[in-house]
Amino acid sequence: MANKPKNRMSVANRAKQFMPFSALSGFEEALQQVERKRERVEKIELSQSQKERLNSIIRSLKLNDEIKVEYYDGNKYQFITGLFKKVDEIYYNIHVGKERIDIASIKEIEVY
């Protein structure tokens, strides 16, 4: 006698059998957190003369000037290079390309 066909498994359920399995759920995220903590650096407080120099540079920027900005992102210092778009005096940030950077987090600006 032939076996009766079993209930067929849906395609979605069959696909789940072949999905990657992580025996240590959350382990990868924990490693990333440890790495971020290890990379973290403290923000450097600028002197008054450094702040005045940065403000002078920001005031002299013109639309589409190519600039390189070094800024603190909360964990470490980052660089961004792009075209200057505008200064937002309400939110106290500058726009470089599509990015917004808080002026208080800027360490250095180079104009090319």
pTM: 0.66
| CATH assignment at residue 83 | 2.30.30
In a domain, 46, yes or no: no
Domain residue limits at 93: 63-111
Which pLDDT value is given to residue 94?
96
Domain assignment present for residue 81? The answer is yes
Higher pLDDT, 42 or 18: 42
Q: Is residue 67 part of a domain?
A: yes
CA distance 106 to 46: 9
Where residue 31 falls among pLDDT bands split at 50, 70, 90? confident
Instruction: Return the pLDDT at 2.
Output: 60
The structural domain count of the chain equals 1
Distance CA 22, CA 31 (A): 14
Is residue 55 domain-resident? no
What is the residue-averaged pLDDT of the chain?
A: 88
Tell me: pLDDT of 19 over 90: no
